[in-house]
Chains A and B, each alone.
Chain A
Amino acid sequence: MEEIYKILSELRPEFDFTDSDDFVEDGYLDSFDIISLVSAIEEKYNAKIDGLDVVPENFCTVEAIAALIRKSGGTI
């Protein structure tokens, strides 16, 4: 989880992701940030994320992102 927080804070250093219950709802991540995040986590975790899974609910918390990484064949 720490690594995911690190990726997020590198992407959007102005936010403290630990104080949000929903990154998308709170505006910490928008659709363009998600494009950047997908390539960052695919590279880091050797995952291949399905286009159908690129939906806000898979990026709203670190737990959701971790689940997506596992589902997409990555290991964390």
Chain B
Amino acid sequence: MSMITKEQIYHLYTEAIQKKYRYSNCYFQPQRFEEWLKEDAVSCYSFENSIIFLLNETDHIKVFFMSDDFEWINNFKIIVENIQNIYVIEIVTKGDPECYDLSTKIRCREIIKYERLRNGGEISESKTDEYFYCTEKDHKILREMMDSTFRPIGDHIPSDIELDGFIKSKSIIGIYDNESIAGFIIFEDTKKTSYVRMLCVNEKYRGKGIGNKLMQCYFSIHKDFKSFTLWCRADNTPALNLYINKWNYKKENLYNYIFIV
């Protein structure tokens, strides 16, 4: 094992993506990697049959790998043996292949599993005007609701910059109860497809059908769209029931695993 200097990392990265490794969780674009390098956020460890990149996030370290087998996990164990930290390994897989179950190879603090759901345009007539587009004045309460509902690891909580962007592009709709927000939904549209980034219901309004109302609002402004996707935690049964039973989403057999080591 050898620690690679910053100057060599990009070269190793570009070399590695041409090697056609069998397994990888490097889903990012090369430009993103360049940005991380500029920020001095990435370190790299090179082995005979694998390469491992560690990306420093605020409160954890993200682990990226490219390898022909799962031997990389043993190399990873050596790297982290003496460094106390939280490591996050994110893997998207089609199906549920056993080889990707890192919990059999390394002790994990926690495993979070998300499933991707898709609605192929089977939307029932949905008409409602009970919603408002969230504005800049809602930024603070949106942030508070997100931070108290979702987890920084895995839930892909938007940054403040992203949140401002969503507000400006009218991509957040909320349901209000007097002056307070009962719930909101953030979506990202691409021509004929729409992706629900986040659906959040204020704790004191849960169990009152707010989530369903938000979906009704969402579909009422997406009547001409043909495809709708979202990621949902596999253990969030109420949310899965809402999406699958009420809004015709179907499981795609596509999983996102978050292994927290």
Q: Which residues of A contact B (CB under 8 A)?
A: 12-15, 25-28, 30-32, 35-36, 39, 48, 50-52
In the complex, whether B226 has a CB less than 8 A from a CB of chain A is yes
Give the distance in Å from the alpha carbon of A39 to the alpha carbon of B93 in the complex.
11
Chain B hits for A25, CB < 8 A: 191
Total cross-chain contacts (CB, 8 A): 51
From B17-25, B38-46, B169-177, the one touching the partner chain is B17-25
Given A14-B120, A36-B94, A50-B20, decide whether A31 and B27 contact each other with a Cβ distance below 8 A. Answer: yes
Task: Give Cα distance in the complex from A18 to B27, angstroms.
Answer: 28
- The total of chain B residues at the interface (CB under 8 A) is 24
Residue of A nearest to B190 (CB): A27
Contacts A13-B120, A51-B17, A51-B21 given; indicate if A26 touches B254 (C-beta within 8 A). no
Are the CB atoms of B94 and A15 closer together than 8 Å?
no
Residues from chain A with a CB closer than 8 A to the CB of B227 are: 12, 14-15, 27-28
Which chain B residues numbered 227 to 254 have a C-beta less than 8 Å away from chain A?
227, 229, 254
8 nearest interchain CB pairs? Answer: A27-B190, A27-B193, A14-B120, A51-B17, A27-B191, A14-B121, A26-B191, A14-B226
> Is chain A's binding surface mostly helix, strand, loop or mixed?
loop
A51 touches B92 (CB 8 A): no
Q: For the complex, what is the distance from the CA of A27 to the CA of B17, rounded to whole Å?
A: 26
**Assembly CA distance A36 to B252 (angstroms):** 10
Question: Least Cβ distance of A53 to chain B in Å?
Answer: 10
Q: Which residues of B contact A31 (CB under 8 A)?
A: 27
A28 and B94 within 8 A (CB): no
* B192 sits at the interface (CB 8 A): yes
B192 contacts A28, CB within 8 Å? yes
Point out the residues of chain A lying under 8 angstroms from B21, CB to CB: 51
At the interface, yes or no: B62 with Cβ under 8 Å from chain A? Answer: no
B213 within 8 A of A: no
Cβ of B116 under 8 Å from chain A: yes
Contact B18 A50 (CB under 8 A): yes
Q: Please, which residues of chain A bring their CB within 8 A of the CB of B27? A: 31
- The 8 A CB mask of B11-50 against A (1 = contact, 0 = none) is 0000001111100101100000000000000000000000
Per the bound structure, the CA–CA distance linking A25 and B193 in Å amounts to: 10
Apart from A26-B191, A28-B192, 11 more pairs, CB < 8 Å = A14-B227, A15-B227, A27-B189, A27-B227, A28-B227, A35-B254, A36-B94, A48-B20, A50-B20, A51-B24, A52-B18
Please indicate the chain B residues that have their CB under 8 angstroms from the CB of A32 in the complex: 92, 116, 229, 254
Name the contact of B226 in the complex, choosing from A15, A36, A48, A52 (C-beta under 8 A).
A15
Question: Closest CB of chain B to A62's CB: distance in Å?
Answer: 18
